[in-house]
Amino acid sequence: MTLLITLLILSIIIFIHELGHFLAARVFKMPISEFSIGMGPELLSYKKSYTKYSVRGIPMGGFVNIDGMDIEKPVENGFNSKPAYQRFIVLFAGVFMNFVLAFIIMMSLTFISGKYDIVDDGSIGYISEKAPAYNDLKVGDKIKEIDNIKIENWNDITVIMRNIKKDKLNMVIERDGVLIEKKIKLIYDEKNQKYMIGINPKYIHSKYGFIEGIKEGVKSFNELFSTVFKGLKMLVKGEVKSDEVSGPIGMVRIVDEFVKTGKILLVWLTAMLSVNIGIFNLLPFPALDGGRIIFVILEMIGIKINKKIEERVHLIGMVILILLFFIITGNDIKNIFKK
């Protein structure tokens, strides 16, 4: 089941990427011989005008064949016959669609999940079962005093606990309108070297308003984009250990962990992977969209590279990418046996 979910996620992301190239090529009237969902042997096909639309046997992504990219086979209105700015847009469109997918997902999650606002009157919303206070306090209790200090909000509790150096404290709580005095035993957090009650505040769940939700959705997307960008930057700079890099096999393991945590996080993972694939494709490396875009930009500023040399560079880049794919896959297998 996890394998199918992984294939579905990657298929959606790659399909959206290829759809971007397809739509942009259509706008500039570039001939497209085939637009396929999936890879491998053809199962179904439908031809409209010049373009064949197909479904293939391996449910993994898809592809779009834009005629005229092969310099040995020039085509009327083909890719290489078009102005540089049009080729730039077609090449960038796939990455752009990856970002659009992630943005829509993050925006949707924002409105679906809503927000949690703290009930800032000292009300208890959670008590750890490991804490001694679990036997003395109840969810819904309001903390009114700690060691004769009046409590107005949760910040008051935080300030007091920051300076506590003993394992017990006196507390006045309000329960069902009645004030009750309690002597609460604390737990010691070895990691942070401080005493804790073992409680969290009460929260109220509510939906975002339209404007507030849009702002929060944009903020969530920006944070996701920034996180993924920093991660890839560390990877390029060699600051990530080899055993921390995952390929297709490692992806199945990651998806399995997210499946256990729930559907919302699985959808978030889809957004994260879409941004990841988008940024990766923008890297100025031969064979990737980013590598091809570099040559188009050079042409736009008056530096024209021989097309045959460019294609050789992209071929070398493709070979390197395939080698990296096998190395990362081998790393995934090694990590499985380690565990």
* DSSP H or E stretch at residue 205: strand 203-206
Give the pairing of strands 187-189 and 194-196: antiparallel
Strands (E), 98-193: 115-118, 124-127, 142-146, 149-150, 168-175, 178-185, 187-189
Q: 243-252 as b/e, with b when 16 or more CB fall inside 10 Å?
A: eeebbebbbb
Active site residue 257: no
By the 8 A CB rule, do 124 and 138 touch? yes
Of the candidates 40, 44, 49, the residue with the CA atom closest to the CA atom of residue 67: 49
Q: Which residues contact 232 (CB under 8 A, 6 or more apart)?
A: 276, 279, 280, 283
Question: Exactly one of 18, 34, 216, 310 is catalytic; which is it?
Answer: 18
Residues 264 and 243: their CA atoms lie apart, in Å, by 27
Please report the DSSP string for 7-19 in residue order: HHHHHHHHHHHHH
Q: State both tokens at 131.
A: 């804490």
Choose among 147, 137, 194: nearest CA to 170. 147
- 185 phi/psi in degrees, rounded to 5: -85, 135
Whether 180 contacts 173, CB under 8 Å: yes
Position 64, amino acid: V
Query: 134: helix, coil or strand?
Result: helix
Q: What distance in Å separates the CA atoms of residue 304 and residue 307, rounded to the nearest whole number?
A: 9
Report, as residue numbers or ranges, the catalytic residues.
18
